[in-house]
């Protein structure tokens, strides 16, 4: 279902590009805009792992790390990657208190998966496995490539909108000046909406495949609830300075909403949890005694309270 949705949305984005491109710039304008957008996105795609890891000061770790929790984290990621038929990824930790994680890299052979220090401190080992399985699913599904293609076409549409006044005379274009201005405003908006819809579809698919890789949809569902409750209260300054990188994370590091929003790159966490519960039921997985975390009221600093006694240490 999610693959079909992605294909349909990509086709819609391509049709939007062709239609708007022809109206604004004709064949010449379409080619110029596509080449410019492709060049910029190809550079980002080819160097994605290096750019993003440097931006967030991600520190690669291995099985010999002095911290036992980090060693277990690395071992679990590598074991799941092998079980999923993936090459060994770079495993890294981001020094940030906000619980979150992301995957990057142009292909499975050049992939990196990163978890924040806040994620390892907050979640149980099973929950961390669920989150990292989601990130490995992005690698397996080649979502970096999908989103690069999406960004290229969306960028080309935005470029066409910016070039609108420079291709042909207003009288030669349908709608004249008013039509041109409308296209300049509406074309990038429409492209952005489709791009965000594709991103949400890829998140749902990564949840599904990740739950299969980890073998525990309940763990990922529990992790998403915890991350959502805590991420809203912890500032991520790097993501705030680079909001375009927010779509990489498993939970939006900038802001959250109560329902799937047309202007959001991530589905609502509640909807993702419902889908994972349905998947667990279809897999015959037994319900686990989940830790329920509720998002605190705005301005409060009271931590969410687990339903069970706290364990000693992050994975005690």
How many structural domains compose the chain? 1
Active site residue 240: no
Model pLDDT, residue 266: 77
Residue with tokens 């004709």: 26
Question: Do residues 200 and 146 touch, judged by C-beta distance below 8 A?
Answer: no
How many beta carbons lie within 10 A of that of residue 126, not counting itself? 17
233 within domain boundaries: yes
pLDDT of the chain, 316 residues: tens digit per residue:
655 666 676 677 667 666 766 666 667 766 776 777 677 667 766 776 687 888 899 999 999 999 999 999 999 999 999 999 999 999 999 999 999 999 988 889 989 999 999 999 999 999 999 999 999 999 999 887 777 777 777 777 777 666 665 654 444 555 556 666 666 777 777 777 877 888 888 899 999 999 999 999 999 999 999 998 888 788 888 888 877 677 788 888 875 444 455 556 778 888 888 989 988 888 876 666 544 433 333 343 334 434 344 444 455 4
36 within domain boundaries: yes
* Residue 228 CB-half CA count within 13 A: 21
Model pLDDT, residue 177: 61
Q: Which of 109, 127, 135, 205 is catalytic?
A: 135
Model pLDDT, residue 296: 39
Model pLDDT, residue 301: 38
299 within domain boundaries: no
**Domain region containing 33:** 2-283
288 within domain boundaries: no
CA–CA gap between residue 164 and residue 166 (Å, rounded): 6
316 within domain boundaries: no
* Assigned token pair, 242: 């680079």
Question: Residue 117: in which H helix or E strand, if any?
Answer: helix 117-122
Model pLDDT, residue 310: 41
Model pLDDT, residue 55: 86
Model pLDDT, residue 281: 86
């Amino acid at each position: 279902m999610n693959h079909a949705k992605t294909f349909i949305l990509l086709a819609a984005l391509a049709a939007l590009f062709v239609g708007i491109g022809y109206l604004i710039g004709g064949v010449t304008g379409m080619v110029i805009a596509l080449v410019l957008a492709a060049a910029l996105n190809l550079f980002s795609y080819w160097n994605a792992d290096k750019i993003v890891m440097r931006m967030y000061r991600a520190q690669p770790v291995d099985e010999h790390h002095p911290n036992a929790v980090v060693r277990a984290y690395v071992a679990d990621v590598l074991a799941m990657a092998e079980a999923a038929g993936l090459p060994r990824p770079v495993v890294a930790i981001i020094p940030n208190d906000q619980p979150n994680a992301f995957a990057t890299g142009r292909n499975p052979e050049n992939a990196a998966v990163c978890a924040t220090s806040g994620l390892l401190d907050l979640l149980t080992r099973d929950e961390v496995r669920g989150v990292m399985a989601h990130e490995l699913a992005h690698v397996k599904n080649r979502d970096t490539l999908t989103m690069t293609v999406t960004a290229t076409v969306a960028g080309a549409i935005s470029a066409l909108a910016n070039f609108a006044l420079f291709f042909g005379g207003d009288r030669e274009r349908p709608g004249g000046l008013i039509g041109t201005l409308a296209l300049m405003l509406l074309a990038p908006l429409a492209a952005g909406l489709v791009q965000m819809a594709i991103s949400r579809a890829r998140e749902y698919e990564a949840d599904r495949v990740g739950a299969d890789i980890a073998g525990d949809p309940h763990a990922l569902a529990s992790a998403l609830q915890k991350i959502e409750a805590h991420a809203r209260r912890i500032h991520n300054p790097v993501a705030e300075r680079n909001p375009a990188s927010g779509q990489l994370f498993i939970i939006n590091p900038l802001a959250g909403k109560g329902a799937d929003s047309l202007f959001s790159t991530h589905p609502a966490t509640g909807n993702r949890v419902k889908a994972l519960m349905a998947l667990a039921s279809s897999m015959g997985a037994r319900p686990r005694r989940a830790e329920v975390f509720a998002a605190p009221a705005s301005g409060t600093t009271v931590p969410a309270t687990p339903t069970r006694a706290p364990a000693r240490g992050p994975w005690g």
